[in-house]
Structure 1
Amino acid sequence: MNITWKDSFSQVVLDYSLRPKVSRENFSWNIAGNSQGEKPNILSELLWKNNMRVGADLQLGIKLKRKFTAEITYGFAKTRSGIVTDIDYSADNRKGITSNETYDSDMGNGETFNIKLGHNVHMQRKELDIYAVMQLQKNSYFLIDKMEKLSSTYNNRILGAGIGAIFFLPFSGSFDFNVLFQARMSQYNADANWNLRSDFAHPKSFEHDIPILEWDNEVRLNYRLTNFLKIGVFTGFSSYNNIGKGIDKLYYNDGHISFTRLNEVKSHSISAGMSVLYSVYFKN
């Protein structure tokens, strides 16, 4: 049977989804001694390990049946535990350690705002949703030592756009299985307040700027309770790495500004959670 343009737009589905989840992230960055990436090639690096966050995603989607899809997602999360290591070097290739300190990182939060516009392809009982995406992500990280009154902050903002796909495979009655892939080219910006460094400016001690490539992967298993309600579980893996060199811009309290090379920023995180999806159908 041929589906006309009018038929496609006469069947509209609104999806409302809540996705509580837990995630664990390893995040790091490092800088060189000068803007040429020398003296030494790695001067300082920060490594946040096992940052556990608890949060949720709220999604609103619309499907113009057999044709087009759109989705808006807002996500938030709070950091519950983690550690951060701050290491300084005097020689190339991470040699000549001059400082190696580990602090708590059990504070912080994250926010994500995501917009997708896609085209839905039907293949018998299977579906493939190919889409364009734009995403803004904000994260705050801490270095905390209550005995030393250390409470330094590092806040990043990631804005980018890309493409993705979701493959929908129904099986075994009311169950369906989904696989998501997504890639984005993004710009990474950050600023920090190193509160115990009296020679640095406050509240902005330094800034970072670098291009990155982001990847998201997710698998989902859903169960349809009724025609309008689904519940499910999911797990995902997300990562990003820089795709070029960046700039570290350091502000001193006397007004002086210095520049050095930002060598690398990278993040790897895994997540797991459950979902509740409620659908509303409209037909002309």
Structure 2
Amino acid sequence: MAVLRILVMGLLLQCWNIFPLCAQQNEIRLSTGYGNSNLHWSIAGNTEGKNPNILSELAWSRLRGAVWNAGLRYSFNRKWGLELEAGYHHITKGRVTDQDYAQDDRQDNYYNEQFNSQGKALTADAVLHYHVGNISGFQIRPFVGYTLQKQEALLLGDEERERDLHSSYKTTWMGAQAGVNATRAFNRLDLRIDLASGLLAYRAEALWNLIDKFAKPVSFRHYTEAYQLKGKLEVGYTLGERLRIMGYYRIAHADAWKGTDRAYYSDGSSIDTRLNWVTTTTTAFGAGLGYLF
């Protein structure tokens, strides 16, 4: 009996040391950090992807600024849980290149300009996960859910060129996602890895003041389907019983397949061409606080 009491006391002490992680699975968290994204798309001259195969392409680079995130992790029981997360990226700096071509394969480049850029982005994720067991000390939870990312990327002039320019390209990536979460506790320190992929609908809408004959406020729209890959690494440390500090790094990449570019003109007419591709990559890092309950 004495040996049994010693074993029980040892287990209770061990659980007390990791109490915030083993018994309190629920968390409300807030974080801030710094984000950077790139966005690139092109269209062809007609719906067959010819005349020429690349008529115009836009490339935004280093769209950067502060990010803020809020999230909730909630366990219904030992197996099932829910996670919600929303984020905002305030884009304060960036550059965009606008190029047009008269011949196939980017030949006869008759327009090539660079502009400043700013903008904003919103993200939202909701997933339901299931605890399947442990592998090498990691708690493994596959998940399924929904993801949404909206971004507004601007083309801004300066004092010397296109002073009153204020064109915008607004994107929406939305659809189903699935992935796996792996979490491991080392006493009060914890490590969390999230990997996910998704099949998304892609929609975009532009206000294009660069070309007078385009209609305003909607100059053209893009429609297609896409896929997304993303990952997140998070390291946390629990202070006391309720407070958790954490740092994170995340990356997301999405590619849209061939689709439709529909341009609207001021005379009321419209025309379709082929959207060749859209690709975007976003990275962010930061730190935050969590309240465990």
TM-score (norm 1): 0.90
Q: Is the 8 A contact 1:55 1:78 kept in 2?
A: yes
Residue aligned with 1:236, SS: strand
Instruction: Name the Cα RMSD after superposition.
Output: 1.5
User: Whose strand fraction is larger, Structure 1's or Structure 2's?
Assistant: 1
**Which of 187, 190, 193 in structure 2 is aligned with 1:179?**
193
Are residues 1:62 and 2:74 paired?
Answer: yes
| Equivalence for 2:251 | 237
- The Cα of 1:54 is off from its aligned counterpart by 1.2
Are residues 1:198 and 2:205 paired?
Answer: no
Q: Is the 8 A contact 1:66 1:122 kept in 2?
A: no
Residue aligned with 2:51, SS: coil
Are residues 1:111 and 2:126 paired?
Answer: no
**Which of 58, 64, 78 in structure 2 is aligned with 1:46?**
58
Partner AA of 2:184 in structure 1: L
TM-superposition CA deviations, 1:80-126 (whole Å, max 9, x none): 11000000011111111011100000x21111121111102342853
TM-score (norm 2): 0.88
Partner AA of 1:121 in structure 2: V
Percent same amino acid among aligned pairs? Answer: 30
TM-superposition CA deviations, 1:178-214 (whole Å, max 9, x none): 1110101000000000124221100000000111101
Q: Is the 8 A contact 2:24 2:292 kept in 1?
A: no
| Equivalence for 1:6 | none
- The Cα of 1:15 is off from its aligned counterpart by 1.4
Partner AA of 2:185 in structure 1: P
CA distance in 1, matches of 2:100, 2:108: 8
Q: Is the 8 A contact 1:31 1:263 kept in 2?
A: yes
- The Cα of 1:21 is off from its aligned counterpart by 2.0
Are residues 1:100 and 2:115 paired?
Answer: no
**Which runs of structure 2 are paired with 1:121-136 in the superposition (5 Å)?**
121-123=132-134, 125-136=137-148
Are residues 1:32 and 2:44 paired?
Answer: yes
- The Cα of 1:130 is off from its aligned counterpart by 1.0
Partner AA of 2:241 in structure 1: N
Runs of 4+ in 1 over 4 A off after TM superposition: none
Structure 1: gaps spanning 5 or more residues: 1-10
| Equivalence for 1:257 | 270
CA distance in 2, matches of 1:179, 1:75: 18
CA distance in 2, matches of 1:272, 1:14: 23
User: Whose helix fraction is larger, Structure 1's or Structure 2's?
Assistant: 2
**Which of 166, 173, 177 in structure 2 is aligned with 1:162?**
177
**Which of 199, 202, 220 in structure 2 is aligned with 1:188?**
202
TM-superposition CA deviations, 1:58-100 (whole Å, max 9, x none): 1122113421010121211110110000000111111110111
Residue aligned with 1:138, SS: strand
CA distance in 2, matches of 1:181, 1:132: 11
Structure whose CA Rg is larger = 2
Q: Is the 8 A contact 1:45 1:88 kept in 2?
A: yes
| Equivalence for 2:158 | 146
Q: Is the 8 A contact 2:249 2:286 kept in 1?
A: yes
| Equivalence for 1:278 | 291
CA distance in 2, matches of 1:164, 1:57: 20
CA distance in 2, matches of 1:229, 1:126: 22
Structure 2: gaps spanning 5 or more residues: 1-22
CA distance in 1, matches of 2:292, 2:267: 59
CA distance in 2, matches of 1:69, 1:253: 51
Q: Is the 8 A contact 2:66 2:91 kept in 1?
A: yes
CA distance in 1, matches of 2:263, 2:247: 44
- The Cα of 1:275 is off from its aligned counterpart by 2.4
Partner AA of 2:277 in structure 1: E
Q: Is the 8 A contact 1:12 1:62 kept in 2?
A: no
